[in-house]
Amino acid sequence: MAQRRYVSIKEVAATAGVSFQTASKVLNGGDVRVSAETAARIVAAAERLGYQPNTIARSLVQRSTATLGLIASDATDVAITLTSVAAEQAARRHGHAVLVGHLAPGGGDAASIVRTLIERRVDGVIAAAPDLEENEEVGELLRAHGPAVSLQSIPGGGLPLVGSNHRDTGRIATEHLIGLGHEAIGTVAGLFRRRVTRSRLHGYEDALRQAGIEPDEGLVAEADWTPGGAAAATKALLERRPQITALFVHSDMMAMGVLSALYEAGRRVPAGVAVVSCDDIPFAQFLAPPLSTVRVPLAETGERAVDLLLRMIAGEPVPDKPLLLPVELIVRESCGGLETQRANRRDSDPNRG
Amino acid sequence: MAQRRYVSIKEVAATAGVSFQTASKVLNGGDVRVSAETAARIVAAAERLGYQPNTIARSLVQRSTATLGLIASDATDVAITLTSVAAEQAARRHGHAVLVGHLAPGGGDAASIVRTLIERRVDGVIAAAPDLEENEEVGELLRAHGPAVSLQSIPGGGLPLVGSNHRDTGRIATEHLIGLGHEAIGTVAGLFRRRVTRSRLHGYEDALRQAGIEPDEGLVAEADWTPGGAAAATKALLERRPQITALFVHSDMMAMGVLSALYEAGRRVPAGVAVVSCDDIPFAQFLAPPLSTVRVPLAETGERAVDLLLRMIAGEPVPDKPLLLPVELIVRESCGGLETQRANRRDSDPNRG
DNA sequence: ACCGTGTGGGCGAACGTTCGCCCACGAGGG
DNA sequence: CCCTCGTGGGCGAACGTTCGCCCACACGGT
């Protein structure tokens, strides 16, 4: 149970009979001007003593920790978790470790998390928590201390952003429902104060207007990104506008709540209400019915964010335009489009009549 | 974009007109033998210059980083994510940061993750990835370098374990199904080589035998903890033993796949097949139908692991018995027990009859 | 006048590395 | 025989802290 003592490079050097600086060159440095035998002796000694380099000391002199900071929201939204885990793995592939901080439910500890990261001298920070969108202090800290990339807009701007095209997402989902013949299309949206929500809502309205349908505010319900919140919003929406035949939901997690509320209300999906969502989290296909959704490249978002951040750290210039990854509609059963697709295919099948 | 330079304590001291060691005492140390005015001057200077202490340097002399390492599996299992996020938050409440590594799908990078943590001199490690159960090398590294706590058994043992009573879990779930009158009770289990699986299977058999039912190997299906794997296993199980009327599933994530397979096979839940699972992840109640499940205290597991680890780091003695947290059955609709409960209550309702 | 004591702050050393420069030695060429 | 290199390795300094000890000074008591 006692703390194991670490063996330092000096001990390795002593048993190999060289100065510790020489041992350093062989074991960690790149500038190896050492004979092959000496090097072998040093490596053997290190091996035998179980030497593990102390990167703390290295960081001190090199003024770089090879560590990234990651601010994530709490684990309630699988989509965000997926993105941040992908970011962590990508960072590690590039030789960087990741120090994470998960926001407490209120998000009030964000600034304190950032300060912790800064004090530990991370080389850069990835802000992957939607709650940060409302946090002035975090924006300032991030801008003041070293490079950072955000996955949502940050107050005050000035930080490169990686994300997807939310307006497209809203438009694509809605267009699909319109294409299936729906007209009374409701939407269970995220928090109105978030940009994601507003963009997706714009896309939704774009598609509606394009089809000559005037958007009706009564068809729009706000929810808090949780299944529970979405279930409640759906219930209210159904009471307010019973004529709804289709629903565009702003996240797969909320779609679970929507499906659940629909189930309780006795409305069949897709026969009674067609549902299209966004994200395509891994188990979207295992919901009942399998969820049609606009796939957001979650993992890729995390990876690209790391790429960008690493480039900034290396001092390379980065584009100041937000990097928006393309989205793609995945048709499954919840929208009722699959049967239509199959029918269409059957109609045009050359092997048939 | 340029790397911001950090201001050191020497600069603060210079502008305050004191030696840097004195500044150190008032800003970070506890041994403040400094007059109130001098202290105020130093604090003001630090404030004005935007001083952020460099914990890297501090760690070097104090031989402690106030950082914990966390090895988690990839994000596919929400239950594990929940545990590790809770652990991170708990660590932060105790003033520790957390360096995470998420295993790649194969889990082959586990040893390299651990080495990264060790090189960064984390004060302790939490192993929260079931895949580690088969990894000899990780066990050795963890035992050799500083304190560690695991959430599943680790080859070679020697590490304190925090978890829940899996045998109880299997027994409780199965007993409930038996109590509802089921006899042909199948189980969709996790990977057989894992201890969790074997323990839950033991509990399942205990309950069966207790009720005078001889366990039938044909009723047991192995799956890989994913919804997809569980769906496939369920399909095979239903073909092999069509008479099944109830299913005990080893995780909520797998239960999604089970529900999905049941839905596709046209078996209604709970009318056709009753389902009880384990974990109680946050959206279990939003599945269709709401999932009955044995709640595992996921967040508490993470918190207790951190507590234990911190105690080990502080040099306190720790119990060598595994810390097993109690589990609890949550009855929702998927087992059909809710109607029964309601009926019972109605029968004994003093306002009626 | 002397000593002891307490208060406020300075100062050297150490933590474990990396970095750049220096030096000794031997070989080869003129 | 001397000068010039190249090779192999040593060595001092620095990174930004903390820690413990030291010192100067003032004050009070005897």
Confidence of residue B345 (pLDDT cuts 50, 70, 90): low
Q: What crossing angle do the helices spanning B55-62 and A55-62 adopt, rounded to 10°?
A: 140
Q: What is the pLDDT of residue A186?
A: 98
B319 interfaces chain A, CB cutoff of 8 Å:
no
Q: What is the pLDDT of residue B117?
A: 97
Q: What is the pLDDT of residue B343?
A: 57
Digit-by-digit pLDDT tens for chain A (353 residues) are: 345 679 999 999 999 999 999 999 999 876 678 888 899 999 999 999 999 999 999 999 999 999 999 999 987 899 999 999 999 999 999 999 999 999 998 888 999 999 999 999 999 999 999 999 989 999 999 998 889 999 998 888 889 999 999 999 999 999 999 999 999 999 999 999 999 999 999 999 999 999 999 999 999 999 999 999 999 999 999 999 999 999 999 999 999 999 999 999 999 999 999 999 999 999 999 998 999 999 999 999 999 999 999 999 999 999 989 999 999 999 999 999 776 655 555 555 444 43
Q: Which nucleotide, over all strands, has the C1' atom closest to the CA of B31? A: D19
Q: What is the pLDDT of residue B349?
A: 47
Contact criterion met (CB < 8 Å) for B288 and A253: no
Q: What is the pLDDT of residue B91?
A: 98
Instruction: Kindly report which listed range (A342-346, B75-79, B107-111) carries the lowest average pLDDT score.
Output: A342-346
Tell me which nucleotides of strand C come within 7 A of a protein CB: 7-20
More confidently predicted of B320 and A78: A78
State in Å, rounded, how far the first CA of chain A is from the last one: 78
Q: What is the pLDDT of residue A1?
A: 39
Q: What is the pLDDT of residue B250?
A: 98
Is cis: bond before A289, omega within 30 of 0? yes
Taking CA atoms, what residue in A is nearest to B61?
A: A57
Q: Smallest CA–CA separation between A79 and chain B, in Å?
A: 10
pLDDT at residue B348 greater than cutoff 70: no
Taking CA atoms, what residue in A is nearest to B123?
A: A3
Partnered with residue A98 across adjacent β-strands are A68, B100
CA distance to A310, B15, B148, per residue, from A100 (Å): 17, 34, 19
**Opening angle at CA A165, ends A162 and A169, nearest 5:** 140
Q: Which of A82, A109, A259 sits opposite B75 (nearest CB)?
A: A82
Interatomic distance A43 CA / D5 C1' (Å):
30
A253 interfaces chain B, CB cutoff of 8 Å:
yes
Mean residue pLDDT across chain B: 92
The H-assigned helical ranges of chain A are 9-16, 20-27, 36-49, 55-62, 78-93, 110-119, 136-144, 166-179, 195-210, 227-240, 252-264, 298-313, 337-347
- Residue A164 per-residue DSSP state: E
Partnered with residue A101 across adjacent β-strands are A71
Confidence of residue B30 (pLDDT cuts 50, 70, 90): low
Q: What is the interface size between A and B, counted as CB pairs within 8 Å?
A: 170
Q: What is the pLDDT of residue B266?
A: 93
Burial-class residue A155 by CB neighbours within 10 Å (0-12, 13-18, 19+). Answer: middle
Residue B59, H or E segment? helix B55-62
Q: What is the pLDDT of residue B249?
A: 98
The closest alpha carbon to B146, from B119, B107, B128, B110, belongs to B119
pLDDT at residue B106 greater than cutoff 60: yes
User: Could you report the per-residue pLDDT of B123-169, keeping only the tens digit for each?
Assistant: 999 999 999 999 999 999 999 888 999 999 888 888 999 999 999 99
Q: What is the pLDDT of residue B259?
A: 97
Token pair of B13 as six digits: 């001291």
Please tell me whether the overall predicted TM-score, pTM, comes out greater than 0.75 for this model.
yes
Provide mean pLDDT across the span B34-55. Answer: 93
Chain A residues whose CB is inside 8 A of the B115 CB are 52
The closest alpha carbon to B198, from B250, B275, B132, belongs to B250
Q: What is the pLDDT of residue A75?
A: 78
CA distance to A234, A262, B271, B289, per residue, from B333 (Å): 20, 16, 10, 6
A246-249/A185-189 β-pairing: parallel
The residues, any chain, with a CB within 8 Å of residue A138's CB and separated by 6 or more, are: A71, A110, A111, A114, A127, A132, A154, A155
Please identify which residue in the block is written with the tokens 């935007």.
Answer: B50
Based on DSSP, count helices (H) and strands (E) in chain A, helices before strands. 13, 12
Query: Whole-angstrom Cα distance, residue B219 to residue B185?
Result: 7
The H-assigned helical ranges of B265-325 are 298-313
Tell me which nucleotides of strand D come within 7 A of a protein CB: 7-20
CA distance to B251, B268, B291, per residue, from B277 (Å): 6, 16, 7
Query: Whole-angstrom Cα distance, residue B187 to residue A80?
Result: 32
Please identify which residue in the block is written with the tokens 């599996």.
Answer: B73
Contact criterion met (CB < 8 Å) for A257 and B286: yes
Contact criterion met (CB < 8 Å) for A101 and B78: no
pLDDT at residue B350 greater than cutoff 50: no
CA distance to A82, A197, B95, B299, B316, per residue, from B88 (Å): 17, 29, 11, 10, 21
The closest alpha carbon to B167, from B126, B203, B216, belongs to B203
Q: In the 30-49 stretch of chain A, whose C-beta falls under 7 Å of nucleic acid strand D?
A: 33-35, 37-39
Instruction: Kindly report which listed range (A316-320, B205-209, B300-304) carries the lowest average pLDDT score.
Output: A316-320
Is cis: bond before A227, omega within 30 of 0? no
Q: Which nucleotide, over all strands, has the C1' atom closest to the CA of A58? A: C17
Probe site for chain A from B114, B283, B306 (most A CB atoms < 10 A): B283
Confidence of residue B322 (pLDDT cuts 50, 70, 90): very high
Q: Which of residues 334-353 of A touch B (CB under 8 A)?
A: none
Q: Do B123 and B144 meet the contact criterion of CB atoms below 8 Å apart? A: no
Confidence of residue B341 (pLDDT cuts 50, 70, 90): low
Q: What is the pLDDT of residue B222?
A: 98
Is cis: bond before B289, omega within 30 of 0? yes
User: Could you report the per-residue pLDDT of B262-284, keeping only the tens digit for each?
Assistant: 999 999 999 999 999 999 999 99
CA distance to A177, B101, B114, B252, per residue, from A281 (Å): 20, 21, 29, 16
